[in-house]
Structure 1
Protein backbone atom coordinates (compact mmCIF):
# COMPACT_ATOMS: atom_id res chain seq x y z
CA UNK A 1 0.00 0.00 0.00
CA UNK A 2 1.37 3.38 -1.04
CA UNK A 3 1.23 6.41 1.23
CA UNK A 4 -1.12 8.21 -1.19
CA UNK A 5 -3.73 5.55 -0.34
CA UNK A 6 -2.84 5.10 3.34
CA UNK A 7 -3.06 8.80 4.24
CA UNK A 8 -6.80 8.79 3.48
CA UNK A 9 -7.51 6.06 6.06
CA UNK A 10 -9.00 6.99 9.42
CA UNK A 11 -6.86 6.56 12.54
CA UNK A 12 -8.32 3.19 13.53
CA UNK A 13 -7.91 1.57 10.11
CA UNK A 14 -4.44 3.11 9.66
CA UNK A 15 -3.35 1.56 12.95
CA UNK A 16 -4.77 -1.83 12.01
CA UNK A 17 -3.15 -1.98 8.57
CA UNK A 18 0.18 -0.25 9.24
CA UNK A 19 0.68 -1.15 12.90
CA UNK A 20 1.46 2.41 14.02
CA UNK A 21 -0.84 5.26 15.07
CA UNK A 22 -1.04 8.12 12.57
CA UNK A 23 0.51 10.81 14.86
CA UNK A 24 3.45 8.52 15.62
CA UNK A 25 3.87 7.75 11.91
CA UNK A 26 3.99 11.48 11.13
CA UNK A 27 6.62 11.99 13.83
CA UNK A 28 8.72 9.17 12.37
CA UNK A 29 8.50 10.76 8.92
CA UNK A 30 9.75 14.07 10.35
CA UNK A 31 12.77 12.34 11.91
CA UNK A 32 13.65 10.52 8.69
CA UNK A 33 13.24 13.63 6.51
CA UNK A 34 15.44 15.72 8.81
CA UNK A 35 18.15 13.07 8.82
CA UNK A 36 17.88 12.62 5.05
CA UNK A 37 18.43 16.36 4.52
CA UNK A 38 21.59 16.20 6.64
CA UNK A 39 22.86 13.09 4.86
CA UNK A 40 22.24 14.53 1.38
CA UNK A 41 23.07 18.18 2.07
CA UNK A 42 25.37 18.25 -0.95
CA UNK A 43 22.71 16.82 -3.23
CA UNK A 44 22.58 13.42 -4.87
CA UNK A 45 20.39 11.20 -6.95
CA UNK A 46 16.65 11.42 -6.27
CA UNK A 47 15.47 8.21 -4.52
CA UNK A 48 12.85 6.02 -6.17
CA UNK A 49 10.94 5.70 -2.88
CA UNK A 50 9.65 8.74 -1.02
CA UNK A 51 10.36 8.81 2.72
CA UNK A 52 6.70 8.05 3.53
CA UNK A 53 6.68 5.01 1.25
CA UNK A 54 10.03 3.86 2.61
CA UNK A 55 8.67 3.98 6.16
CA UNK A 56 5.51 2.14 5.10
CA UNK A 57 7.60 -0.59 3.45
CA UNK A 58 9.79 -0.89 6.56
CA UNK A 59 6.78 -1.18 8.87
CA UNK A 60 5.13 -3.69 6.52
CA UNK A 61 8.22 -5.86 6.73
CA UNK A 62 8.17 -5.79 10.54
CA UNK A 63 4.41 -6.29 10.81
CA UNK A 64 3.71 -8.76 8.01
CA UNK A 65 7.21 -10.33 7.76
CA UNK A 66 6.94 -11.01 4.07
CA UNK A 67 10.21 -11.21 2.18
CA UNK A 68 11.90 -8.01 1.06
CA UNK A 69 11.57 -9.25 -2.51
CA UNK A 70 7.76 -9.37 -2.24
CA UNK A 71 7.48 -5.92 -0.67
CA UNK A 72 9.97 -4.43 -3.14
CA UNK A 73 7.88 -5.77 -6.03
CA UNK A 74 4.83 -3.97 -4.63
CA UNK A 75 6.72 -0.66 -4.65
CA UNK A 76 8.48 -1.19 -7.97
CA UNK A 77 12.07 -1.14 -6.64
CA UNK A 78 14.84 -3.71 -6.38
CA UNK A 79 14.98 -5.70 -3.15
CA UNK A 80 18.63 -4.75 -2.49
CA UNK A 81 17.64 -1.07 -2.65
CA UNK A 82 14.78 -1.63 -0.20
CA UNK A 83 16.96 -3.63 2.20
CA UNK A 84 19.66 -0.96 2.30
CA UNK A 85 17.23 1.92 2.82
CA UNK A 86 15.05 0.02 5.33
CA UNK A 87 18.11 -0.71 7.45
CA UNK A 88 18.98 2.99 7.34
CA UNK A 89 15.43 3.88 8.43
CA UNK A 90 15.51 1.42 11.34
CA UNK A 91 18.89 2.67 12.57
CA UNK A 92 17.91 6.34 12.18
CA UNK A 93 14.65 5.96 14.12
CA UNK A 94 16.31 3.97 16.89
CA UNK A 95 19.00 6.66 17.16
CA UNK A 96 16.50 9.53 17.39
CA UNK A 97 14.14 8.63 20.19
CA UNK A 98 12.28 5.56 18.96
CA UNK A 99 13.97 3.21 21.39
CA UNK A 100 14.07 2.36 25.10
CA UNK A 101 16.56 4.87 26.43
CA UNK A 102 17.85 5.35 29.95
CA UNK A 103 14.88 5.85 32.25
CA UNK A 104 14.98 6.11 36.02
CA UNK A 105 12.75 4.16 38.37
CA UNK A 106 11.04 6.39 40.92
CA UNK A 107 10.57 5.40 44.60
CA UNK A 108 6.77 5.20 44.26
CA UNK A 109 6.81 3.19 41.01
CA UNK A 110 5.23 -0.26 40.80
CA UNK A 111 7.36 -2.17 38.29
CA UNK A 112 6.40 -5.33 36.45
CA UNK A 113 8.98 -7.81 35.15
CA UNK A 114 8.57 -10.57 32.61
CA UNK A 115 10.44 -12.20 29.74
CA UNK A 116 9.42 -13.61 26.38
CA UNK A 117 11.04 -15.93 23.88
CA UNK A 118 11.26 -15.56 20.11
CA UNK A 119 11.84 -18.65 18.01
CA UNK A 120 14.85 -18.53 15.68
CA UNK A 121 16.20 -20.80 12.98
CA UNK A 122 18.60 -23.47 14.17
CA UNK A 123 22.06 -21.86 14.42
CA UNK A 124 24.98 -23.38 12.55
CA UNK A 125 27.22 -22.94 15.60
CA UNK A 126 26.63 -23.10 19.37
CA UNK A 127 23.22 -24.71 18.96
CA UNK A 128 22.99 -25.74 22.62
CA UNK A 129 23.46 -22.13 23.76
CA UNK A 130 20.21 -21.09 22.06
CA UNK A 131 18.12 -24.17 22.86
CA UNK A 132 15.16 -23.81 25.22
CA UNK A 133 14.26 -27.02 27.00
CA UNK A 134 10.89 -25.52 27.89
CA UNK A 135 9.93 -24.60 24.32
CA UNK A 136 11.90 -27.45 22.68
CA UNK A 137 13.27 -25.01 20.09
CA UNK A 138 16.05 -22.47 19.55
CA UNK A 139 15.14 -19.05 20.88
CA UNK A 140 16.29 -15.54 21.74
CA UNK A 141 14.99 -14.10 25.00
CA UNK A 142 13.97 -10.55 25.86
CA UNK A 143 13.16 -9.16 29.29
CA UNK A 144 10.94 -6.12 29.81
CA UNK A 145 10.50 -3.98 32.92
CA UNK A 146 7.37 -1.82 32.74
CA UNK A 147 5.19 0.30 34.99
CA UNK A 148 1.47 -0.21 35.56
CA UNK A 149 0.54 1.99 32.58
CA UNK A 150 2.42 -0.31 30.17
CA UNK A 151 5.32 2.09 29.63
CA UNK A 152 8.52 0.12 29.06
CA UNK A 153 11.26 1.33 31.40
CA UNK A 154 14.04 -1.15 30.61
CA UNK A 155 14.55 -3.73 27.88
CA UNK A 156 17.23 -6.42 27.86
CA UNK A 157 17.92 -9.05 25.20
CA UNK A 158 20.50 -11.81 25.30
CA UNK A 159 22.26 -13.56 22.44
CA UNK A 160 21.85 -16.97 24.07
CA UNK A 161 19.17 -18.73 26.09
CA UNK A 162 18.92 -17.65 29.73
CA UNK A 163 16.61 -18.46 32.61
CA UNK A 164 14.46 -15.47 33.60
CA UNK A 165 16.23 -14.98 36.92
CA UNK A 166 19.70 -15.30 35.40
CA UNK A 167 18.82 -12.75 32.71
CA UNK A 168 17.68 -10.31 35.40
CA UNK A 169 20.93 -10.75 37.34
CA UNK A 170 23.06 -10.28 34.21
CA UNK A 171 21.11 -7.16 33.19
CA UNK A 172 22.22 -5.47 36.45
CA UNK A 173 19.07 -3.34 36.63
CA UNK A 174 18.73 -1.32 39.84
CA UNK A 175 15.27 -2.21 41.13
CA UNK A 176 15.86 -1.30 44.78
CA UNK A 177 14.48 2.23 44.25
CA UNK A 178 11.02 1.01 43.21
CA UNK A 179 8.09 0.87 45.59
CA UNK A 180 6.88 -2.60 44.57
CA UNK A 181 8.12 -5.27 42.15
CA UNK A 182 5.69 -7.79 40.67
CA UNK A 183 7.00 -10.80 38.76
CA UNK A 184 5.80 -14.26 37.76
CA UNK A 185 6.96 -17.62 39.10
CA UNK A 186 10.02 -17.56 36.81
CA UNK A 187 11.53 -15.05 39.27
CA UNK A 188 11.25 -17.18 42.43
CA UNK A 189 13.86 -15.95 44.90
CA UNK A 190 13.72 -12.34 43.75
CA UNK A 191 12.32 -11.36 47.15
CA UNK A 192 15.65 -12.41 48.70
CA UNK A 193 17.44 -9.81 46.56
CA UNK A 194 14.78 -7.08 46.69
CA UNK A 195 12.59 -7.04 49.78
CA UNK A 196 9.77 -5.23 47.92
CA UNK A 197 9.46 -7.99 45.29
CA UNK A 198 6.37 -10.17 45.15
CA UNK A 199 6.06 -13.43 43.22
CA UNK A 200 3.12 -15.88 43.13
CA UNK A 201 2.62 -18.08 46.17
CA UNK A 202 2.67 -21.76 45.26
CA UNK A 203 0.00 -24.12 46.49
CA UNK A 204 0.75 -27.66 47.66
CA UNK A 205 -1.19 -30.64 48.98
CA UNK A 206 -0.11 -29.98 52.55
CA UNK A 207 -0.52 -26.20 52.33
CA UNK A 208 -3.32 -25.33 49.90
CA UNK A 209 -4.14 -21.70 49.28
CA UNK A 210 -7.01 -20.26 51.30
CA UNK A 211 -9.82 -18.29 49.70
CA UNK A 212 -8.21 -15.08 50.97
CA UNK A 213 -4.86 -16.06 49.41
CA UNK A 214 -6.54 -16.79 46.09
CA UNK A 215 -8.23 -13.40 46.12
CA UNK A 216 -4.93 -11.66 46.86
CA UNK A 217 -3.15 -13.57 44.07
CA UNK A 218 -5.92 -12.70 41.65
CA UNK A 219 -5.61 -9.00 42.50
CA UNK A 220 -1.84 -9.09 41.94
CA UNK A 221 -2.27 -10.96 38.63
CA UNK A 222 -4.68 -8.30 37.37
CA UNK A 223 -1.87 -5.74 37.78
CA UNK A 224 0.92 -7.97 36.49
CA UNK A 225 -1.02 -8.75 33.31
CA UNK A 226 -0.05 -5.29 31.99
CA UNK A 227 3.44 -6.53 31.10
CA UNK A 228 1.86 -9.44 29.23
CA UNK A 229 -0.18 -6.92 27.26
CA UNK A 230 3.08 -5.20 26.27
CA UNK A 231 4.43 -8.46 24.87
CA UNK A 232 1.11 -8.92 23.09
CA UNK A 233 1.69 -5.60 21.31
CA UNK A 234 5.23 -6.66 20.42
CA UNK A 235 4.04 -10.02 19.06
CA UNK A 236 1.50 -8.21 16.86
CA UNK A 237 4.55 -7.69 14.65
CA UNK A 238 5.01 -11.05 12.92
CA UNK A 239 8.77 -10.66 12.88
CA UNK A 240 8.66 -11.63 16.58
CA UNK A 241 5.62 -13.92 16.64
CA UNK A 242 6.91 -16.26 13.93
CA UNK A 243 10.37 -17.75 13.39
CA UNK A 244 12.91 -14.91 13.33
CA UNK A 245 14.98 -15.61 10.20
CA UNK A 246 17.25 -12.53 10.06
CA UNK A 247 20.75 -11.93 11.39
CA UNK A 248 20.71 -12.09 15.18
CA UNK A 249 22.84 -8.95 15.42
CA UNK A 250 19.82 -6.83 14.34
CA UNK A 251 17.42 -8.50 16.79
CA UNK A 252 18.07 -6.09 19.67
CA UNK A 253 17.82 -3.04 17.35
CA UNK A 254 14.42 -4.11 16.01
CA UNK A 255 13.08 -5.06 19.43
CA UNK A 256 14.13 -1.66 20.79
CA UNK A 257 12.57 0.10 17.81
CA UNK A 258 9.19 -1.61 18.20
CA UNK A 259 9.14 -1.10 21.97
CA UNK A 260 10.06 2.55 21.41
CA UNK A 261 7.08 2.90 19.06
CA UNK A 262 4.82 1.35 21.74
CA UNK A 263 6.06 3.90 24.29
CA UNK A 264 5.52 6.75 21.83
CA UNK A 265 1.92 5.65 21.25
CA UNK A 266 1.28 5.66 25.01
CA UNK A 267 2.50 9.27 25.17
CA UNK A 268 -0.07 10.48 22.62
Structure 2
Protein backbone atom coordinates (compact mmCIF):
# COMPACT_ATOMS: atom_id res chain seq x y z
CA UNK A 1 0.00 0.00 0.00
CA UNK A 2 1.34 3.41 -0.97
CA UNK A 3 1.28 6.07 1.70
CA UNK A 4 2.43 9.62 1.11
CA UNK A 5 2.94 10.30 4.82
CA UNK A 6 6.40 10.95 6.20
CA UNK A 7 6.79 8.09 8.67
CA UNK A 8 10.37 8.40 9.84
CA UNK A 9 13.24 10.85 9.70
CA UNK A 10 16.94 10.28 10.12
CA UNK A 11 19.39 13.18 10.16
CA UNK A 12 23.18 13.15 10.16
CA UNK A 13 25.83 15.50 11.45
CA UNK A 14 27.28 17.94 8.96
CA UNK A 15 27.34 17.39 5.24
CA UNK A 16 26.84 13.70 4.53
CA UNK A 17 25.53 11.80 1.56
CA UNK A 18 22.03 10.38 2.02
CA UNK A 19 23.25 6.81 1.59
CA UNK A 20 25.89 7.29 4.32
CA UNK A 21 23.20 8.60 6.66
CA UNK A 22 21.04 5.57 5.80
CA UNK A 23 23.87 3.11 6.49
CA UNK A 24 24.86 4.80 9.76
CA UNK A 25 21.27 4.93 11.02
CA UNK A 26 20.84 1.13 10.88
CA UNK A 27 17.16 1.74 10.26
CA UNK A 28 15.21 -1.52 10.52
CA UNK A 29 13.04 -2.06 7.47
CA UNK A 30 10.60 -4.90 7.03
CA UNK A 31 12.08 -7.42 4.57
CA UNK A 32 8.95 -7.25 2.40
CA UNK A 33 9.00 -3.44 2.21
CA UNK A 34 9.84 -2.22 -1.28
CA UNK A 35 12.54 0.43 -1.24
CA UNK A 36 12.64 2.69 -4.30
CA UNK A 37 15.94 4.53 -4.49
CA UNK A 38 17.73 6.75 -6.97
CA UNK A 39 21.13 6.04 -8.51
CA UNK A 40 22.94 7.62 -5.55
CA UNK A 41 22.14 4.50 -3.51
CA UNK A 42 24.33 2.05 -5.48
CA UNK A 43 24.99 -0.95 -3.25
CA UNK A 44 21.61 -0.81 -1.52
CA UNK A 45 21.06 -4.51 -2.19
CA UNK A 46 23.68 -5.31 0.48
CA UNK A 47 21.55 -3.56 3.11
CA UNK A 48 18.00 -4.28 1.90
CA UNK A 49 17.27 -7.12 -0.52
CA UNK A 50 13.89 -5.79 -1.70
CA UNK A 51 15.23 -2.54 -3.17
CA UNK A 52 14.95 -1.22 -6.70
CA UNK A 53 17.55 1.02 -8.32
CA UNK A 54 17.75 2.51 -11.80
CA UNK A 55 20.13 0.88 -14.25
CA UNK A 56 23.16 3.04 -14.98
CA UNK A 57 24.70 3.30 -18.43
CA UNK A 58 28.12 1.71 -18.81
CA UNK A 59 30.89 3.72 -20.39
CA UNK A 60 30.59 3.57 -24.16
CA UNK A 61 27.47 1.39 -24.14
CA UNK A 62 23.93 2.72 -24.48
CA UNK A 63 21.12 1.36 -22.29
CA UNK A 64 19.02 -1.43 -23.72
CA UNK A 65 15.32 -0.98 -24.37
CA UNK A 66 14.48 -3.12 -21.31
CA UNK A 67 16.75 -1.03 -19.07
CA UNK A 68 15.18 2.20 -20.33
CA UNK A 69 11.71 0.79 -19.68
CA UNK A 70 12.78 -0.26 -16.16
CA UNK A 71 14.16 3.22 -15.42
CA UNK A 72 11.01 4.89 -16.76
CA UNK A 73 8.76 2.68 -14.62
CA UNK A 74 10.88 3.37 -11.56
CA UNK A 75 10.86 7.12 -12.15
CA UNK A 76 7.06 7.08 -12.46
CA UNK A 77 6.88 5.47 -9.01
CA UNK A 78 9.57 7.71 -7.48
CA UNK A 79 8.00 10.96 -8.65
CA UNK A 80 5.66 10.83 -5.65
CA UNK A 81 8.67 10.69 -3.30
CA UNK A 82 10.22 13.69 -5.04
CA UNK A 83 6.96 15.61 -4.61
CA UNK A 84 7.11 14.92 -0.87
CA UNK A 85 10.69 16.27 -0.82
CA UNK A 86 9.49 19.40 -2.61
CA UNK A 87 6.71 19.88 -0.07
CA UNK A 88 9.27 19.82 2.73
CA UNK A 89 11.66 22.20 1.00
CA UNK A 90 8.96 24.83 0.66
CA UNK A 91 9.87 25.61 4.26
CA UNK A 92 12.86 27.92 4.18
CA UNK A 93 14.35 26.56 7.41
CA UNK A 94 15.10 23.20 5.76
CA UNK A 95 15.93 24.61 2.32
CA UNK A 96 18.62 27.10 3.35
CA UNK A 97 21.65 26.76 5.58
CA UNK A 98 20.48 25.80 9.07
CA UNK A 99 21.51 28.52 11.53
CA UNK A 100 19.85 27.18 14.66
CA UNK A 101 21.29 25.01 17.40
CA UNK A 102 22.46 21.70 16.02
CA UNK A 103 20.74 19.74 18.76
CA UNK A 104 17.42 21.11 17.45
CA UNK A 105 18.00 20.13 13.81
CA UNK A 106 16.14 16.82 13.98
CA UNK A 107 13.35 18.50 15.96
CA UNK A 108 13.00 21.09 13.19
CA UNK A 109 12.75 18.37 10.54
CA UNK A 110 10.18 16.46 12.60
CA UNK A 111 8.10 19.63 12.89
CA UNK A 112 8.27 20.27 9.14
CA UNK A 113 7.33 16.63 8.43
CA UNK A 114 4.34 16.91 10.78
CA UNK A 115 3.23 20.13 9.09
CA UNK A 116 3.54 18.55 5.63
CA UNK A 117 1.58 15.49 6.78
CA UNK A 118 -1.08 17.71 8.31
CA UNK A 119 -1.30 20.01 5.28
CA UNK A 120 -1.73 17.16 2.82
CA UNK A 121 -3.92 15.08 5.15
CA UNK A 122 -1.52 12.15 5.34
CA UNK A 123 -2.14 11.61 9.06
1:71-104 deviation digits (Å, cap 9, x = unpaired): xxxxxxxxxxxxxxxxxxxxxxxxxxxxxxxxxx
List aligned pairs for 1:1-268, cutoff 5 A. Answer: 148-265=2-119, 266-267=121-122
Higher relative contact order (Cα pairs below 8 Å, separated by 6+ residues):
2
Per the normalisation by structure 2, the TM-score is 0.85
Alpha-carbon RMSD across the aligned residues, in angstroms, is 1.9
Per the normalisation by structure 1, the TM-score is 0.42
Write the distance in 2 (CA, Å) between the matches of 1:163 and 1:267: 27
Number of equivalenced pairs: 122
Which has more strand, going by share of residues? 1
Write the distance in 1 (CA, Å) between the matches of 2:31 and 2:116: 25
Mind listing any 5+ residue stretches in structure 2 that lack a counterpart? none
* 1:209 CA drift (Å): 1.0
CA contact (8 A) 2:37 2:52 kept: yes
* 1:154 CA drift (Å): 1.3
CA contact (8 A) 1:183 1:199 kept: yes
* 1:245 CA drift (Å): 2.1
CA contact (8 A) 1:187 1:199 kept: yes
Structure number with greater Rg is 1
Mind listing any 5+ residue stretches in structure 1 that lack a counterpart? 1-108, 110-147
